[in-house]
């Protein structure tokens, strides 16, 4: 028992130990980062071809999760004339219009229209009982399909990193805890720097061990899509560029059965609507998700939310704090 508390490491002078501990943490983090870089081997796979029938909502899910799908489907309903965004005093609302038929709506758009009812506020889309929750079935379908295609990080990749992650935690925490106990046993209580080193090392290790949502193959596939549809994006935008001269917006030919503007929003995001007649939609939904996210953080996680971004849900697919503030994994 004496050897545990009476050895060169246990009795090492504090500043010297901190230097040694710092090097140990740094080396552990480097090894963890190297191992993590080897987990995702999808960059060795061949890029899949762009399908003949493009699902703009699946692309939106790959790019930004279920929140992006919700934004895209709401825009599709707006662009097809089923809903409109209006100012009601200081409040922005989405009102249902009265189009003649639903025949040009696909199933996910019909579900969104049924959820919408007569009127909604934009922030309701991202709330716990909002459209995002109604699209849970689509989230599971897209997640499973994209994981199978190795576009999204799956459980197998997370499992392969888990052992190394916990080993890094054990080295950093165990080494620090041992010295802490040894110092207290010898009557030294000035251990604040040791605690800071330990906590900092564990936080950095947790950050390094967090795998990205989209794999290397998924990122390359998105880049291929954006390159392939780059010209289509500008062609789709052109008829909707805001102008002071009244004009009739022409009916555009579909691309693989999808309106080119809707496809462009799925591939590039609603940022492409800046400067068009739909610019107010883009701004409205950016504010709406920020409001909903901040609200869910303050009510669901209390003071554990350190920032709005920690509660965002591009990866997990929801707008509540969930894993972001509660400490869950990806």
97: left (phi over 0), alpha (psi -120 to 50) or beta: beta
Residues 255, 294 share a domain? yes
Residues 31 and 77 in one domain: no
Question: What pLDDT sits at residue 287?
Answer: 60
Q: Give me the residue label for tokens 């165990």.
A: 174
Q: Poorest-confidence range of 128-137, 156-165, 293-302?
A: 293-302
Would you say residue 227 has pLDDT above 70? yes
Where are the strands (E) in the chain, listed by range?
A: 83-88, 91-96, 119-120
Average pLDDT, the chain: 80
pTM, two decimals, is 0.76
Q: Give the tens place of pLDDT for each residue, 159-203.
A: 999 999 999 999 999 999 999 988 888 888 888 999 999 999 999
75 and 93 together in one domain: yes
User: Is residue 39 situated within a structural domain?
Assistant: yes
Q: Are residues 125 and 174 in the same domain?
A: no
Strand partners, 85: 94
* 45 alpha carbon, distance to own chain's centre: 24
What's the rounded Cα separation, in Å, for the pair 155 and 85?
40
Query: Is residue 95 helix, strand or coil?
Result: strand
Q: For residues 314 and 39, what is the distance between their CA atoms, to the nearest angstrom?
A: 22
**pLDDT tens track for 241-270:** 765 544 444 444 455 556 788 888 888 888
pLDDT for the residue numbered 300 = 44
For 56, 65, 219, 228, 231, the CA distances from 47, given in Å and listed in that order, are: 18, 21, 10, 13, 21
Domain match, 97 and 163 both: no
Quick check: is 190 in a domain?
yes
Residue 122 lies in a domain: yes
Q: How many domains does the chain have?
A: 2
* Domain co-membership, 237 together with 133: yes
55-79 pLDDT per residue, tens: 899 999 999 999 999 999 998 898 8
Give pLDDT, residue 100: 61
Distances (CA, A) of 157 to 63, 65, 164, 176: 19, 19, 12, 29
Same domain? For 137 and 233 the reply is: yes
Are the CB atoms for 52 and 67 separated by under 8 Å? Answer: no
Q: What is the mean pLDDT of residues 281-309?
A: 52
Q: Are residues 177 and 307 in the same domain?
A: no
Identify whether the C-beta of residue 188 lies closer than 8 Å to the C-beta of residue 242. no
Q: Based on the fold, state whether residues 196 and 256 are members of the same structural domain.
A: no
- Coil/strand/helix, residue 44: helix
Whole-angstrom distance, CA of residue 263 vs CA of residue 179: 58
Residue 240: inside a domain: yes
Q: What six digits make up the tokens of 83?
A: 């809903």
Q: In terms of pLDDT, which residue wins out, 273 or 201?
A: 201
> For residue 304, what are the domain limits?
56-148+229-314
Structure tokens at 326: 């509660």
How do residues 95-134 score in pLDDT, each as one tens digit?
A: 888 766 777 788 999 999 999 888 888 888 888 889 999 9
């Amino acid at each position: 028992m004496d050897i545990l508390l009476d050895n060169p490491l246990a009795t090492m002078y504090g500043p010297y130990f901190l230097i040694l501990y710092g090097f140990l943490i740094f080396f552990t983090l480097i090894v963890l980062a190297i191992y993590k870089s080897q987990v995702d081997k999808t960059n060795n796979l061949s890029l899949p071809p762009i399908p003949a029938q493009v699902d703009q909502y699946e692309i939106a899910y790959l790019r930004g999760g279920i929140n992006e799908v919700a934004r895209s489907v709401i825009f599709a309903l707006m662009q097809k004339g089923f809903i409109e965004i209006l100012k009601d005093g200081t409040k922005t609302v989405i009102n249902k219009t009265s189009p003649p038929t639903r025949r040009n709506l696909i199933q996910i758009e019909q579900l969104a229209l049924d959820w919408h009812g007569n009127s909604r506020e934009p922030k309701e889309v991202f709330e716990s009982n909002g459209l995002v929750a109604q699209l849970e079935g689509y989230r599971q379908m897209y997640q499973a399909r994209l994981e199978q295609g190795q576009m999204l990080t799956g459980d197998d990749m997370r499992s392969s990193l888990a052992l190394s992650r916990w080993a890094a935690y054990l080295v950093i925490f165990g080494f620090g805890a041992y010295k802490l106990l040894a110092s207290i046993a010898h009557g030294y209580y000035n251990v604040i720097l040791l605690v800071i080193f330990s906590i900092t090392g564990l936080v950095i290790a947790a950050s390094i061990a967090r795998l990205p949502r989209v794999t290397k193959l998924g990122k390359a596939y998105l880049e291929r899509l954006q390159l392939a549809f780059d010209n289509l994006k500008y062609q789709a935008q052109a008829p909707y560029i805001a102008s002071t001269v009244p004009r009739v917006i022409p009916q555009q030919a579909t691309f693989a059965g999808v309106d080119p503007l809707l496809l462009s929003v799925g591939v590039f995001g609603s940022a492409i609507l800046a400067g068009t007649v739909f610019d107010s939609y883009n701004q409205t939904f950016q504010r709406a998700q920020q409001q909903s996210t901040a609200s869910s953080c303050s009510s669901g996680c209390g003071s554990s939310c350190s920032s709005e971004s920690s509660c965002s849900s591009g990866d997990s697919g929801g707008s509540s704090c969930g894993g972001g503030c509660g400490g869950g994994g990806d």
